[in-house]
Amino acid sequence: MPVIKYPRVRDPLFYEWDRKAQKCGLRHTIYAVNGDQYTGEWLDNLKHGKGTQIWKSTGAIYSGDWKFGKRDGYGSYSILDPVTKEYRRVYTGWWENDRRGGRGTFFYPNGELYEGEWSNGLRSGRGKMLYKDGSIYEGEWLTDQPNGQGMLRLPNGNRYEGGWKDGKKHGPGKYFYPDKGQLLEGIWVADIPKCGVLVDFGRDNAPAPTQFPLPEIELHNPAGVLAEAQAMFDDSHN
């Protein structure tokens, strides 16, 4: 009896091509259709591990950690200066789900710098901001604005320590005038001192004290005045 041989069933060629195209582990540079290029590690056809991405449209470059196709972990992001054709650092630090998250340093084009905590790509948590005019803010942030407790030091040496809300002085705080040797302690609302007590503070060593010292207050209790103002402030915000 003759033996009948049936042809071996084979998968279509595109299945084989797809298996060969699957990217896992360390691979050489892969070019996307839009011209972007990536060199680094892969997992299940997604960027995963250490790798470097260059965007064709902007020339920006990211080098660092990836997780399932997104920047996640520690990495550095730089952009190409159109004039000098050199790379300028924009951000170095931690990433979460393709956004700045955790601690990191951001370098602004005008020379300003922020070093601190981030959440969803915004300054949130504790951080320090160095402004172009020489001012320094150090304290708490929420959604890219000073919020909570913080200190702002001005170029002339004056400083404010106290509460902040939406980037403005808000709540109990102290404003120091080292040049005059005075201190204003009071309540701020939207950057404006609503009430407070001005006292001499280190006046004898101040470089430019006022002509006359502040008189002693005998009829009122400064601490009591501030406590009453604080109570009114709290009631108005409840």
Q: Using an 8 Å Cβ cutoff, are 188 and 163 in contact? A: yes
Residue 8: how many CA atoms within 13 Å on its side-chain side?
Answer: 2
Which amino acid, residue 140? E
Residue 20 belongs to some domain of the structure: no
If one counts the domains in the chain, the total is: 1
pLDDT in tens, 181-230: 899 999 999 999 999 898 887 777 766 777 666 556 554 555 555 555 55
Per the model's pLDDT, the better-predicted residue between 52 and 24 turns out to be 52
* Domain housing 193: 108-215
Residue with tokens 């951001």: 106
Nearest to 54 by CA among 63, 64, 45: 63
Residue 121 belongs to some domain of the structure: yes
Q: Using an 8 Å Cβ cutoff, are 92 and 102 in contact? A: no
Q: pLDDT confidence of 71, banded at 50, 70, 90? A: very high
Residue 102 belongs to some domain of the structure: no
Residue 125 belongs to some domain of the structure: yes
CATH number, position 207: 2.20.110.10
CA angle centred on 120, ends 27 and 95, rounded to 5°: 30
Overall pTM surpassing 0.85 (yes/no): no
Confidence at residue 15, expressed as pLDDT on a 0 to 100 scale: 44
Residue 69 belongs to some domain of the structure: no
User: Is beta strand 168-177 parallel, antiparallel or unpaired with respect to 182-189?
Assistant: antiparallel
Share of the chain above pLDDT 70, in %: 76
Q: Using an 8 Å Cβ cutoff, are 72 and 62 in contact? A: no
pLDDT in tens, 152-176: 999 999 999 999 999 999 999 999 9
pLDDT in tens, 104-126: 999 999 999 999 999 999 999 99
- The whole-chain average pLDDT of the chain stands at 85
Give counts: helices (H), strands (E), the chain.
2, 15
Residue 73 belongs to some domain of the structure: no
Confidence at residue 105, expressed as pLDDT on a 0 to 100 scale: 98
Residue 169 belongs to some domain of the structure: yes
The 10 Å Cβ neighbour count of residue 68 is 11
Q: Using an 8 Å Cβ cutoff, are 76 and 91 in contact? A: yes
Residue 99 belongs to some domain of the structure: no
pLDDT in tens, 73-87: 999 999 998 888 899
Per the model's pLDDT, the better-predicted residue between 71 and 17 turns out to be 71
CA distance 71 to 34: 19
Please state the φ and ψ torsions of residue 222, each to the nearest 5 degrees: -55, -40
Which amino acid, residue 68? F
